[in-house]
Structure 1
Amino acid sequence: MNVKPNLDRSNRENIIYMVIMFIGGLALLYYNALAGIGFIAVSGVVFYLNLKNNESKKIEWMRYVENLSLNMDKIAKKAIRYLPIPMCVIEFNGKITMHNDKFSEIIGRDRLLDENIKDVVGEIDLTKVLNDENEMYSEIEYKDKRYSIVYRVIKNRTNSDVDYMMVLYWLDKTDYLNLKEKYINEKTVIGIIEVDGYEEVIKSADEENRPLITADIERVLSTFETESKAAMKRVSKDKFFLVMNREELKKIELDKFEILDKIRHIDHGNTLPVTISMGVGIDGETINDNFKMAVGALDLALGRGGDQVVVKTKDNFSFYGGKSKAVEKKTKVKSRLIGHALREIINQSEDVLIMGHRYPDMDAMGAAVGIYDLCKACGKESNIVLENLNDSIEIFAKKIKKDKYYKGIFINHETAIERCKEDTLVIVLDTHRPNFTECPKLLEISDKVVVIDHHRRGVEFISDAVLLFHEIYVSSTCEMVTELIQYMDENIKINKMTAEGLLAGINLDTKNFAFKTGVRTFEAASYLRKIGADTIEVKKLFNADISDFTTKAEIIQNTKIINNRICIGYTSSEIDNVNVIIAKAADELLNIRQVEASFVLGQKDGKVFISARSLGDINVHVMMEKLGGGGHIDIAGAQLKNVSLKKAYNMVHEIIEEFLEEDK
């Protein structure tokens, strides 16, 4: 190893030696003049020769350093040129100033200097590294290869100026990503398929055709198994267990699960359509995790009305289908069982709190008063949690307050929270979403929650209820509560005004028995009428002011019809009962010829309310779910916070356009 000599130190030592010799010469000159002069002369010659020798060594060292620098430049250039990783150096404007052979190989040509990197490889983002000297990364695909580009900002000093350049290292990740993709595609997917209302569907056909329906169901599912390269096993008369890989699931998702349509085409004289629900679990840590997610997904699919597929991952849900209305179940066995269970829970509870959803309507309030009367018949005191009145329930609530029978029926949030304990029974009506309830805090305090609801199930739901009565085919929550009262105990009697509230709730959600009305709906209404419900008094609960008609006229004037199928309207008037008015206007718009669905928007207190209605062929529940709302296939809605009316209108318009594009 060569070490630079310390020439400066040698010069300092020589000067010291010469000074000592000069002093010695002077001393010798004092004793012998001739000898002293000779000694000084010889010392001078030695000093001169030493200086000359040092200068020669210095020149030799400079030449050595220059040669070494040239050699290092050659080595560095060769190292860059033959670096096994593609690399290029560019200016901040994208101009290539240097590159190696590997970079030329991936580009496919040699002459790349002074060209712009964007012209060579296409769009590449350089802006994010302009103010960052640390290494940064980005992904790019070029000529069927996928690269991870590592950026490094370097300083290039020239005289007193400093220029900044970027070094780009191209790491080929194609093989790794292909292997990763293959691994993901081969992951196991678990599915559970259930034939919706199998018994009812089979019974709806003539006896000689029933085996044909079963055979066709098995044929369609068997074809699906073969085409998807899956393994399927029938586990009961109406359930099938399915195993496939992720790659095949992707293909099926692209086709939006055509099996739903194929099953629906089975027709052997059955009056009820054949539909299936499927729950799929993917991306779990284990196969057991996927199975549990598939079970949860199937429950969600059934809770949303069936005839659909729900694909569940650890963090997300995807929905497919949901075009059919839920089939009414004529048996009332479940209502009887729920009724007896609810009576036991009420009898075991010291305190009962009842609540519906925020901005309650007559379905929520009628059902709440029905449960209140039911608790009273069981000898238990209860209260309905209600913070503020709204125009939907104002007439009925004021009548209730005036009647001594319902003394102290309503309590506000603060009182309810103070009273609520872990063993307090909280009964939630007309919603299953915790954040939509009148007072969500009660759900956090109480360990005894009962849910009674008829809305199609959303992703968010009260999962730890001790009793769940969730039937999406039922017209209204009031119908469900009426059946519970009817079959809980023969001796239970309810107040006339309670019966009118329940009938009003049924009237509201069925649009005067025009929508979602089944045999059991009329039976419930008949029972309420028999125990004293006055239809004239019920009608008075829905009386409106002249301003309501004016607002509806404004909505109709602002209505736009899209593709002769769907209309969308709005009101810019901020009135207290805007949510009620837009719901009525949405119903009115369905009377327009050829219109199959309607959407109406209104605003109040910084929120935008959306009411959606359909004649049944268009699933407005799925469309409203994209905005965080929900409801039924033909009646749905949503509420948007921190969004202007114009922006909300555009959002709904885009959802309508997406639906029409997909429905082509």
Structure 2
Amino acid sequence: MKDKLYLKFKDQQFNINIIIIFLMSLIILYYNFYLGGISFVVLFYITYYNFKIKHKKKIEWIQTIEDLSLEIDDTIKQTILKLPIPLCILEFDESISWYNKKFYNMVNKDNIFHKNIKELMPNLSLRKKLNETKEFYTEVDFNNKKYTVVYNIVKTKKDKDIKYLIVLYWLDKTEYVKLFNKYEDEKSVIALVQIDGYDEVLESANQDVRPLINAELERKLNTWAISLNGALRRNSKDKYTLIIDSKQLRDLEQDKFTILDQIRDVDYGNTLPLTLSIGIGAMGDTHEQNLKYAISALDLALGRGGDQAVIKRKDKSIFYGGKSKAVEKKNKVRARLIAYALKELILEAEDIYIMGHKYPDLDAIGAGIGIYDICKLLNKEANIVIQSSNSSIDLFMERVKENESYKDVFISREDAIRNCRRDSLVIVVDTHRPNFTECEELLKISEKIAVIDHHRRGVEFIDNAVLMYHETYASSTCEMVTELIQYIDSKTSIDNLGADALLAGITLDTKNFTFKTGVRTFEAAAMLRKLGADTTSVKKLFQGDLDNFIAKAQIIKNSQIIGGIIAISVCDDGIENSKLISAQAADELLNIKGIRASFVLGKGNDDTIFISARSLGDINVHIFMEKLGGGGHIDVAGAQLKDISIEDTVKMLKESILEYLKEE
């Protein structure tokens, strides 16, 4: 570039000199004709000589450029031919028009010229866009190797014809992928293992075999850890920490955590089964984060009744196991401590709001009435938040309206939101999921929240509660509230309607003291009877009319039996109280010989699809409902789905059941 500028400058200087000589020659010619003529001859000679020299140099310069271009073209060709990565050029119809030796060695096949590349690599996908400035990328597996294919569109022009070609560069990343997978496989995973109800299990066995149970437990857990190449450490009598790699975690998932079944098989005369709860933290950025995930996963496993493994990877949780019911705790120390803490919260509160779940049943409304009675015992005003009644509680709501003791007890969502403050006490009963509560907005307003629930814990949870009373072994929330009442005041006394409501909630969730009924359930019922509960009045709350019985009979008649053990049926459209009738029909289906679980589907007024699921206990219907966004217990569960037809829901449920039966 500098040479070119220099030559241009020299040309300009020469032209100026010529002009000067020309002017001088004219002056000389004016004074002396002969000398002027000689000057013009010299001028013409200089001009001619300069033109001749410039022309010669121009030819030499062009020749130099042409020689250089030939050298560059040859260099480019040699570079492409000797490129250390595979390269090929395709026509726009994806036929191979040229390739280098590396590509030929990679393909390792003859006669590939003009062959369509899809014949060689069916899994190669190219986006053909006429964009000469943009590079495209795609991934492909070929001959047990992984490649990143970088390609672009090249426009060529011959005469007046324009042609587009696709140039592909094959970058072998096999070793990188192997190294990355090795890195991922060797990431540490933290597992926290806890023996469920360890003391209760040992107490259920004779004293002379308790060391054998402990030794067998240790042997199985150590064998399990060795098989995973993990490090197991016992932290206390019933708690362990296990460190494994991510690869071993994937093996555990594929194996469906059979260690849960192996521990459950330990039998030395113990009447209570030995079960594990496992919380695993993975994919955290640090070991500390994995530990937090593991703690959260273990809390989730314990909150769902134990006997299961929960893997928490950042915001995603996966569940395995959960085949056993939670073991009932005979000790009531926790109930007494919770009662004391709840009493302190109520006494400190200026205003109190009690709410259950949406579309409340007798357990939710009964527990709410029970908490209201506790507030009255402590001379505190409270309100139960409920937007509207439904068929399952209509009879009870009519009795409440007739009772002066419960005048103005209910409040709408709008009024509750308007009056609630940061220091208001919000007590949630019979649910722990924020979006299931009657008024979720109250949870965002108040900073003092108490939760009382017995359902197996789901992923969504009210995590900012100042008081959490969550016992999955309990038959119902009403049973838990009844136990709290007896520790609130030594002179316990509640209204007869409140006692009826609590007994009705227990009766509903235990299906007339059939399911999930323990010693404490009967003790709670006995206490309520002492407080004035009338079993006949409770029985009337469950009465239905003739149309309901006919509708239930039709649902049972239309049922399908899958695998000889699971019944599915659909509630017809247009039936009033379809949700209540479906739940009752699901209960009735379990009376059929051989049926171990039942599912009844129906459609609500807002086109929401609801499912009532029931089981005799050996099939965990909670797992089925959880996959559909619902929840519940092992033997009683439900779900609500939107933006889906009832036919598609039935199909999805059947597929889930068939998959379960196949695994069993």
Question: In the aligned structure 1, how far is the partner of 2:323 from the partner of 2:449?
Answer: 32
1:648 equivalent to 2:649? Answer: yes
Deviation at 1:422, TM superposition (A): 1.2
The question of whether the paired residues in 2 share the 8 Å contact of 1:374 and 1:492 is answered with no
Query: What residue in structure 1 maps to residue 448 of structure 2?
Result: 448
Partner of 1:291: 291
Call closer, same or farther: CA 1:447–1:39 in 2, change over 3 Å: closer
Q: 1:283 deviation in Å?
A: 2.3
Return the alpha-carbon distance in structure 2 between the equivalents of residues 174 and 303 of structure 1: 44
* C-alpha deviation, 1:298, in angstroms: 1.1
Equivalent residue runs for 1:413-492 within 5 Å: 413-492=413-492
Separation (CA, whole Å) in 1 of partners of 2:158 and 2:392? 79
Which deviates the most, 536-545 or 400-409?
A: 536-545
| Deviation readout 1:312-347 (Å, 9 max, x if unpaired) | 122211211111111111222221221122112111
Deviates more, 1:405-414 or 1:144-153: 144-153
- Relative to 1, partners in 2 of residues 1:272 and 1:159: Cα closer, same or farther, differing over 3 Å? same
Cα distance in 2, alignment partners of residues 402 and 143 from structure 1? 81
- Does residue 182 (structure 1) correspond to residue 199 (structure 2)? The answer is no
Given that 1:11 and 1:51 are in contact with CA atoms closer than 8 Å, whether structure 2 keeps it comes out as no
Partners of 2:124 and 2:391 lie apart in 1 by 58
Whole-angstrom CA distance in 2 between matches of 1:131 and 1:58: 39
- How far the C-alpha of 1:10 sits from its partner, in A, is 13
What does residue 612 of structure 1 align with?
Answer: 613
Task: Give the Cα separation in 1 of the matches to 2:549 and 2:45.
Answer: 123
Cα gap change, 1:340/1:2 in structure 2, threshold over 3 Å: closer, same or farther? closer
Residue 590 (str. 1) matches residue 590 (str. 2): yes
Partners of 1:551 and 1:573 within 8 A in 2: no
1:104–1:551 CA distance, 2 compared to 1 (3 A): farther
Report the Cα offset of residue 372 of structure 1: 0.8
User: Which residue of structure 1 aligns with residue 100 of structure 2?
Assistant: 100
- Aligned match of 2:520: 520
Partner of 1:539: 539
CA deviations over 1:380-424 (Å, ceiling 9, x no partner): 000000111111111111221222111111111111011111111
| Structure 1 stretch displaced more, 621-630 or 538-547 | 538-547
CA distance in structure 2 between the partners assigned to 1:611 and 1:282 by the alignment: 34
RMSD of equivalent CA atoms: 3.3
AA of the residue aligned to 2:396? F
Distance in 2, matches of 1:513 and 1:500, equals 15
Aligned to 2:244, what secondary structure does the other structure show? Answer: strand
Closer, same or farther: CA 52–228 of 1 in aligned 2, 3 Å: same
Q: State how 1:262-281 maps to structure 2 within 5 Å.
A: 262-281=262-281
Q: Note if contact 2:555-2:571 (Cα within 8 Å) is conserved in structure 1.
A: yes
1:505 alignment partner, SS class: helix
Partner Cα separation in structure 1 for residue 15 and residue 340 of structure 2: 116
TM-superposed CA distance for 1:284, in Å, is 2.2
Give the direction of change, closer, same or farther, for the CA distance of 1:212–1:7 in structure 2 (3 Å limit). closer
Contact 2:280 2:298 in 1 (8 A): yes
The alignment-based identity, stated in percent, is 53
1:495-541 CA-to-partner distances (Å, cap 9, x unmatched) read 11111111111111111111111121122122222222222221221
State the shift of 1:73 in Å: 3.0
Query: Using the alignment, how far apart are the partners of 1:234 and 1:522 within structure 2?
Result: 38
Aligned-partner Cα distance in 2 for 1:478–1:160: 88
Deviation of residue 205 (structure 1)? 1.1
Aligned to 1:633: 634
1:124/1:367 CA distance change after superposition, 3 Å: same
Matched to 1:648, the amino acid is: T
| Cα separation, 1, equivalents of 2:212 and 2:198 | 14
Q: What pairs with 1:131-210 in structure 2 (closer than 5 Å)?
A: 134-210=134-210
What is the one-letter code of the residue matched to 2:194? E
Corresponding position: 1:662 with 2:663: yes
Tell which deviates more after alignment, 52-61 or 157-166.
Answer: 52-61
What does residue 497 of structure 2 align with? 497
TM-score where L is the length of structure 1: 0.90
Q: Residues 90 and 97 of structure 2 are in contact (CA less than 8 Å); yes or no, is this contact kept in structure 1?
A: yes
When the two structures are aligned, how many residues end up with a matched partner?
663
Aligned to 1:324: 324
Deviation at 1:26, TM superposition (A): 13
Per-residue deviation at 1:474?
Answer: 0.9
Q: For the Cα contact (< 8 Å) 1:482–1:502, is it kept in 2?
A: yes
1:17/1:132 Cα in 2 relative to 1: closer, same or farther (>3 Å)? closer
Partner amino acid, structure 2, of 1:444: K
Deviates more, 1:64-73 or 1:593-602: 64-73
Q: CA deviation at 1:358?
A: 0.8
The answer on whether the counterparts of 1:282 and 1:290 sit within 8 Å (CA) in structure 2 is: yes
Please name the residue that 1:511 is paired with: 511
> Structure 1 residues 237, 128: CA separation in 2 closer, same or farther (over 3 Å shift)?
farther
8 Å CA contact retained: 1:198, 1:238: yes
Q: Compared with structure 1, are the counterparts of its residues 132 and 318 closer, same or farther at alpha carbon in structure 2 (3 Å cutoff)?
A: farther
1:257 to 1:30, Cα distance in 2 relative to 1, 3 A: same
In structure 2, what residue type is equivalent to 1:446? S
Cα 1:258/1:14, change in 2 over 3 Å: same
Residue 329 of structure 2 aligns to a residue whose secondary structure is coil
Q: Which runs of 5+ in 2 are unaligned?
A: none
Give distance in 2, aligned partners of 1:640 and 1:132: 49
Q: 1:240 and 1:31, CA in 2 relative to 1: closer, same or farther beyond 3 A?
A: closer
Deviation at 1:479, TM superposition (A): 0.9
| Alignment partner, residue 358 of structure 2 | 358
Q: 2:622 corresponds to which residue?
A: 621
| Structure 1 residues not aligned, in runs of 5+ | none
Amino acid at match of 1:107: V
Q: Secondary structure at the match of 2:482?
A: helix
Letter in 2 for 1:171: L
TM-score by length of 2: 0.90
Hey, what's the Cα distance between the residues in 1 that align with 2:31 and 2:378? 141
Could you tell which deviates more after superposition, 273-282 or 9-18? 9-18
Distance 1:456 1:130, change over 3 A: farther
| Greater Cα offset, 375-384 or 41-50 | 41-50
Q: Show CA shifts across 1:202-261 (max 9, x none).
A: 111122221111111111111112111122221211111222222222222221111111
Quote the Cα distance in structure 2 between the aligned partners of 1:59 and 1:576. Answer: 102
Give the C-alpha shift of residue 580 in structure 1: 1.8
Q: Is the 8 A contact 1:428 1:437 kept in 2?
A: yes
Aligned-partner SS, 1:127: coil
Residue 241 of structure 1 corresponds to 241
Tell me by how many angstroms 1:48 deviates.
10
Are the counterparts in 1 of residues 451 and 465 from structure 2 also a CA contact under 8 Å?
yes
2:25/2:39 contact within 8 Å kept: yes
Q: In structure 2, give the amino acid aligned to 1:562.
A: I
Secondary structure, aligned partner of 1:219: helix
Using the alignment, how far apart are the partners of 1:228 and 1:128 within structure 2?
Answer: 48
Paired letter, 1:382: A
Shift of 1:559: 2.7
Does the Cα contact within 8 Å between 2:85 and 2:171 map onto a contact in 1? yes
Is this contact kept in 1: 2:607–2:642, CA < 8 A? yes
Q: Could you tell me whether the CA contact under 8 Å between 2:131 and 2:153 is conserved in 1?
A: no
Contact 2:205-2:269 within 8 A present in 1 as well: yes
User: Is structure 2 residue 301 aligned with structure 1 residue 310?
Assistant: no
Aligned mates of 1:132, 1:233 — CA distance in 2: 61
CA distance in 1, matches of 2:465, 2:561: 43
Distance 1:566 1:606 in 2: 26
Spell out, residue by residue over 1:116-163, the C-alpha distance to the aligned partner (whole angstroms, 9 max, x if none).
222112311113757796223222222222222223233233444433
> Aligned equivalents of 1:105 and 1:246: distance in 2?
36
Shift of 1:56: 8.0
For residues 551 and 126 of structure 1, the distance between their equivalents in structure 2, rounded to whole angstroms, comes to 59
Matched, 1:75 2:75: yes
CA drift of 1:38 comes to: 13
Contact 1:624–1:636, Cα closer than 8 Å, also in 2: yes
Measure how far apart 1:464 and its partner are.
Answer: 1.8
Q: 1:511 to 1:59 in 2, by over 3 A?
A: same
Closer/same/farther in 2, CA of residues 596 and 134 from structure 1, 3 Å limit: farther
- Counterpart code for 2:386: L
